[in-house]
Amino acid sequence: MKSKHKKVDYSKWGYIFILPFFVSFFIFSFIPLVDTIRYSFFEYYRSGIKEIGPNFVGMENYISLLGSDMLKYAANTLILWIIGFIPQIVIALVLAEWFVDARLKIHGTQFFKVVIYLPNLIMASAFAMLFFTMFSTNGPVNSILMSIGLTSQPIDFLGSAMGTRSLVGFMNFLMWFGNSTIMLMAAIMGISPDVFEASELDGCNSFQRFFYITLPQIRPILAYTLITAIIGGLQMFDVPQILTNGQGTPDRTSMTLIMFLNSHLKSRNYGMAGALSVYLFIVSGILCFFVYRMTNNDDPDGSKAAAKKAKKQQRRG
Amino acid sequence: MKKRVVSIMLIAAMAASLAAGCGKSSGSDSGNGGSSSGGSSSGGSSSAGASSGEEGKVINIYSWNDEFRERVEAVYPEVKETSKDGTVTVLNDGTEIHWIINPNQDGVYQQKLDEALMQQADASADDKVDIFLSETDYVNKYTDADADAAIPLKDLGIDPDRDLADQYDFTKVTASDVDGVQRGSTWQCCPGLLVYRRDIAKEVFGTDDPEEIGQKVKDWDTIKATAEELKAKGYYTFASYADTFRLYGNSIEESWVSPGETTIKVDQKIMDWVNSSKEWLDAGYLDKNVKGQWNDDWNKAMSSASKVFAFLFPAWGIDFTLNPNWDGEDGVWAVTNPPQEYNWGGSYVHACTGTDNPEHVKDIILAVTVDKDNLLKISKDYSDFTNTTSGMKEAAEDDSFASEFLGGQNAFEYFVPVAENIEIAPLSAYDQGCVELIQNSFSDYLQGKVDYDKAKKNFETAIIERYPDITEIQWPE
């Protein structure tokens, strides 16, 4: 006779429900990832409509990339990212603090939250097109500057490295500060109000409150913002691509790594592009690791390390 | 129990659709035929060689805009109707033409076409590419004998020597491979002219007569003196340094890359373009604010408020670029001879290897690119300069071909002598990248952002990125 006390097991449904994710991850992410790494060791491109390769060439792609201007493009990417990221995180922190601060009683926070998020909803390429038109030598910005008498000759914004880089940075800032603000607001709202009340009773001013309570408390979210921003920055592509017509003009000073990658893909150079992707993969891996370690320091006052050291010495002794 | 069945079916359906999605690239089995478009029953004609007598039901045509469709609709007598969205044209015998349009920008068209050509051998009969178009900048890539993407016209039953005798010779050379086998044909021929503003001409020179202006721009030395006159009155001769590029670039003596080699030889003509552009730009004959072509500033240079005297355009440029950007009345622009004969552009029609509709393809090519009456009709309706030497001579003398936009001037009168004197530059499969990148690299130099050697180096970097098989770049002394 069969046991009637068979336990009803629902756990398999859990697995079945998450299965689609794993299947699609495997097909659309994992296989291409492995393929990319594999092709990076091959000479594999198209000349006209003739396919060359794949021929195994070992590390040759990696070596020839190091000999190219890759590092210069990495520096470009970093500069473009920093120009955008510093104002982004500063403004986002200030806005988040103000919006959450109950004593400031800002009206219409909901409205502003929507407005500052809006630029993110515009397609980056459309946004870049808009800026390209606005800041062209015959564009409205130059007309305004000239008609109020700030300049007599039209300024060639996109013709100078400074101008192009600042525009790219400014656009990235505009697009992403709303996103960061909302994320940081969520983090600040997660802090227990007791802490703030206690600090107020102790006579803490708003600067102290920000630097000694808010900042340390939102560190995990801040780390998350930083990591995603770094990875997003490494992949910076659409804005400078459209703004400079894919050329990174002038003199390739606004050519980012992914634009470099893209120009290899014009000839379907999977080998070289693969090698570049692997470099990017390694760099983002390392960056993530550092930032994560830095911000998830669970031993702020060094007491744990001291305890560990003491324990070690004890054992030896 | 029922619930379980439903959920299992859902999962199965999802898994099946995932599997189907990735199976397509590798699967060349006949099972795929069922999913082909139109639900037609012609799966039987599987081995589609040019020789099989049975014609397929679907003709797939790859192009980058509606230009070719409009011309086919206008002159191909078998056309019955076209669907509203312009994707399907039905012929009298029930055959459907499917138009697959991808934009030319950023190489999208070529990418899609290349994908399709790669799959050509495995595609089901109705999915095979039957006709595709190419532009002069990259026609060589597709007429290459080794690539074998375009069928030689002879194999279609068209004898270039006899049937295409009336076409301009240089168009035939352009559409041929290294061995001189013609693998494509075109309805249009793109001799370029100088288009100028009559109002400016009157103000500066006291006359707007095309003959007299033509004398003032007849060669590079004369036009330079003319440019000085224009400058004195505050006008620019051309808008941008890129405007003159085609005149130099399309008359190079040796192709960018010789067949079978991997060395780019930059022609002296190109360096001449760089040097004279620099000279012109510094002298103030060109508008410094217009950087290259096909951008907003360039378009604005064609409006009535601009100070630009002339543009260098073939027939399509006047019709598709100048006319839409002009905001004044008709009749302000006029054409005259350019300082140097040149050709700019041109769309070639190719029959694709592996087509299952060789007869239809042949008919379409003959109707649109060879038949003289049809070509004259295209010239009249669409202002194309068409590929018929005798027909164009007639048009030059026939006032019914006069252009409204040019205020009743018959542009064909000026096109014909240019067309007859065009020396087409030898082509290579690398032309498009070379032409694009050399202009980009030297833009920085012309605008004073980098020095001459840095511009050279930037070109070398960019071209090797684009074409990994290039090993060396030689500059003229």
Binding-site residues on chain B for chain A (CB distance < 8 A): 7, 11, 14-15, 18, 22, 106-107, 114, 117-118, 141-142, 144, 146-147, 149, 289, 291, 295-297, 300, 429, 433, 440, 443-444, 447, 449-450, 454, 458, 461-462, 465-469
Beta bridge partners of B431: none
Q: B401 lies in a domain?
A: no
Q: Which domain holds residue B50?
A: 2-189+346-396
pLDDT given at position B5? 58
Contact assignment for A137 to B289 by CB distance below 8 Å: yes
Task: Specify the range with the lowest mean pLDDT, choosing from A106-110, A176-180, B310-314, B407-411.
Answer: A106-110
| Region B219-239 average pLDDT | 93
pLDDT given at position B366? 93
pLDDT in tens, B337-361: 999 999 888 899 999 999 999 999 9
**How far is C-alpha A115 from the geometric centre of its chain's CA atoms?**
21
Q: How confident is the model at residue B267 (pLDDT cuts 50, 70, 90)?
A: very high
Which CATH number does the domain housing residue B89 bear?
Answer: 3.40.190.10
Is there a single domain that holds both residue B70 and residue B213?
no
Domain count, chain B: 2
The answer to whether B217 touches B310, Cβ cutoff 8 Å, is yes
The answer to whether B66 touches B101, Cβ cutoff 8 Å, is yes
Strand ranges for chain A from DSSP E: 42-47, 50-56
Structure-block tokens of residue B381: 């309706």
Q: How confident is the model at residue B23 (pLDDT cuts 50, 70, 90)?
A: very low
Task: Specify the range with the lowest mean pLDDT, choosing from A87-91, B312-316, B422-426.
Answer: B422-426
Give the CA distances from residue A79 to residues A83, A164, A243, B428, in Å, rounded to whole numbers and listed in that order. Answer: 6, 12, 16, 39
Q: How confident is the model at residue B10 (pLDDT cuts 50, 70, 90)?
A: low
Q: How confident is the model at residue B51 (pLDDT cuts 50, 70, 90)?
A: very low
The answer, yes or no, to whether residue A89 has pLDDT greater than 70, is: yes
Is there a single domain that holds both residue B29 and residue B116?
yes
Task: Specify the range with the lowest mean pLDDT, choosing from A126-140, B17-31, B193-207, B335-349.
Answer: B17-31
Is there a single domain that holds both residue B167 and residue B152?
yes
Distance from A6 to chain B by nearest Cα, in Å? 18
Percent of chain B with pLDDT over 70: 89
Chain B residue closest in CA terms to A31: B22
Q: B272 lies in a domain?
A: yes
Percent of chain B with pLDDT over 90: 47
B318 Cβ contact partners less than 8 Å away, ≥ 6 residues apart: B193, B195, B333, B335, B383, B403, B405, B406, B411
pLDDT given at position B4? 60
- The better pLDDT of the pair B45, B250 is held by B250
Binding-site residues on chain A for chain B (CB distance < 8 A): 16, 19-20, 23-24, 27, 45-52, 68-69, 132-133, 136-139, 154, 156, 159-160, 246-247, 249-252, 260, 263-264, 266-267, 269, 272
Average pLDDT, chain A: 86
Is there a single domain that holds both residue B184 and residue B41?
yes
Tell me A3's DSSP state.
Answer: -
Is there a single domain that holds both residue B155 and residue B262?
no
Contact assignment for B289 to A154 by CB distance below 8 Å: yes
pLDDT given at position B364? 93
Q: How confident is the model at residue B456 (pLDDT cuts 50, 70, 90)?
A: very high
pLDDT given at position A21? 94
pLDDT given at position B22? 41
- The better pLDDT of the pair B129, B429 is held by B129
- The better pLDDT of the pair A297, B175 is held by B175
pLDDT given at position B101? 93
| Region B422-446 average pLDDT | 88
pLDDT given at position B24? 37
| Region B403-414 average pLDDT | 90
Query: What 3 state SS string does A166-207 have?
Result: HHHHHHHHHHHHHHHHHHHHHHHHCCCHHHHHHHHHCCCCHH
Nearest CB to A24 within list B18, B300, B450? B18
Q: B402 lies in a domain?
A: no
| Region A60-70 average pLDDT | 89
Q: How confident is the model at residue B442 (pLDDT cuts 50, 70, 90)?
A: very high
Q: B413 lies in a domain?
A: no
Q: How confident is the model at residue B386 (pLDDT cuts 50, 70, 90)?
A: very high
Give the CA distances from residue B46 to residues A21, A66, B60, B61, B115, in Å, rounded to whole numbers and listed in that order. Answer: 39, 50, 16, 20, 21
pLDDT given at position B453? 92
Task: Specify the range with the lowest mean pLDDT, choosing from A84-88, B43-47, B117-121, B448-452.
Answer: B43-47
Burial of A13 (0-12, 13-18, 19+ CB in 10 A): exposed
The answer to whether B89 touches B71, Cβ cutoff 8 Å, is no
The answer, yes or no, to whether residue B32 has pLDDT greater than 70, is: no
Burial of B162 (0-12, 13-18, 19+ CB in 10 A): exposed
Residue of B293, B460, B467, B470 to mutate for A, most A C-beta atoms under 10 A:
B467
Contact assignment for B444 to A138 by CB distance below 8 Å: no
pLDDT given at position B199? 93
pLDDT given at position A2? 54
The answer, yes or no, to whether residue B28 has pLDDT greater than 60, is: no
| Assembly ipTM | 0.77
Domain boundary among B376, B396, B416: B396
Q: Edge-to-edge, what's the strand order for the sheet holding B129-135?
A: B79-82, B88-91, B96-101, B58-63, B129-135, B347-351
Task: Specify the range with the lowest mean pLDDT, choosing from B23-32, B96-105, B111-120, B130-139.
Answer: B23-32
Is there a single domain that holds both residue B201 and residue B69?
no
pLDDT given at position B259? 83
- Residue labelled with tokens 């007491």: A303
Nearest CB to A49 within list B18, B149, B440? B149
Is there a single domain that holds both residue B133 and residue B151?
yes
Is there a single domain that holds both residue B278 and residue B233?
yes
pLDDT in tens, A123-166: 888 999 899 889 888 888 988 999 998 888 888 888 888 999 99
Is there a single domain that holds both residue B128 and residue B101?
yes
Q: How confident is the model at residue B15 (pLDDT cuts 50, 70, 90)?
A: low
pTM for this predicted structure: 0.79
| Region B44-59 average pLDDT | 58
Residue of A22, A241, A267, A270 to mutate for B, most B C-beta atoms under 10 A:
A267
Average pLDDT, chain B: 85
Q: How confident is the model at residue A283 (pLDDT cuts 50, 70, 90)?
A: confident
Using DSSP, state whether B302 is helix, strand or coil: coil
Q: B301 lies in a domain?
A: yes
| Region A31-35 average pLDDT | 92
Q: B414 lies in a domain?
A: no
Q: How confident is the model at residue A88 (pLDDT cuts 50, 70, 90)?
A: very high
Contact assignment for A49 to B147 by CB distance below 8 Å: yes
**How far is C-alpha B145 from the geometric centre of its chain's CA atoms?**
21
**How far is C-alpha B146 from the geometric centre of its chain's CA atoms?**
22
The answer, yes or no, to whether residue B465 has pLDDT greater than 80, is: yes
| Region A210-221 average pLDDT | 88
The answer to whether B68 touches B347, Cβ cutoff 8 Å, is yes
The answer, yes or no, to whether residue B46 has pLDDT greater than 50, is: no
Structure-block tokens of residue B448: 């004073």
Is there a single domain that holds both residue B185 and residue B196?
no
Contact assignment for A252 to B449 by CB distance below 8 Å: no
d(CA A216, CA A300): 10
Q: B405 lies in a domain?
A: no
Distance from B148 to chain A by nearest Cα, in Å? 9
pLDDT given at position B250? 85
Is there a single domain that holds both residue B226 and residue B352?
no
Q: B307 lies in a domain?
A: yes
Is there a single domain that holds both residue B366 and residue B254?
no
Percent of chain A with pLDDT over 70: 94
